[in-house]
Amino acid sequence: MWNLETGKLIRTLQGHSERILSVAFAPDGKTLASGSKDKTIKLWNLETGKLIHTLKGHNDKVNSVAFLPSATPNGVNLVSGSSDKTIKLWNSVTGKEIHTLETGSGYIYAIAISPDGQTIAGGGSGENILKVWQMIH
């Protein structure tokens, strides 16, 4: 982590066993999610640098992570896309997986959440298309 005004290193977060492929800040700016080739997502407390949770559930590398603007009624506030051809919905507070979206085919390399938190877009390889899902609460 870097201070953009001074260019100085603030903190180094270590814990993944393989390369990190994606990172995302929580809307409150207090938590960072990192997705890795090691098939996990790690959640970090940015004030302390401590690991909060390691999310396990993907069967291949985690290529993309994104936070929703606010949690859904069932607690979903984090989304991940993987080379296992799934998108997973997580509660980052509890560290629990809430739901898995089966994409049909193709790795998921990129995930984006609409500003209202109601729509997930995911893109990947194989099909050269972008898929969109509506959040159901």
Identify whether 54 is part of a domain.
yes
Distance between CA atoms of 98 and 78, rounded to whole angstroms? 10
Each residue's pLDDT expressed in tens, for the chain with a length of 137 residues: 888 999 999 888 999 999 999 999 999 999 999 999 999 999 999 999 999 999 999 999 999 999 999 988 888 999 999 999 999 999 999 999 999 998 877 899 999 999 999 999 988 766 677 788 887 65
Q: What is the DSSP string of 2-49?
A: B-TTT--B-------SS-EEEEEE-TTSSEEEEEETTSEEEEEETTT-
Identify whether 67 is part of a domain.
yes
81 DSSP β-pair partners: 64, 87
The one-letter amino acid code at 20 reads I
pLDDT of residue 127: 67
Helix (H, G, I), strand (E, B) or coil at 79: strand
Distance between CA atoms of 137 and 132, rounded to whole angstroms? 16
Strands 62-67, 51-56: pairing is unpaired
pLDDT of residue 111: 93
pLDDT of residue 136: 65
Identify whether 10 is part of a domain.
no
Domain residues for the domain of 27 are 20-134
Identify whether 4 is part of a domain.
no
State the total domains in the chain: 1
pLDDT of residue 3: 87
Q: Is the CB of residue 63 less than 8 Å from the CB of residue 82?
A: yes
pLDDT of residue 105: 73
Tokens of 43: 């959640």
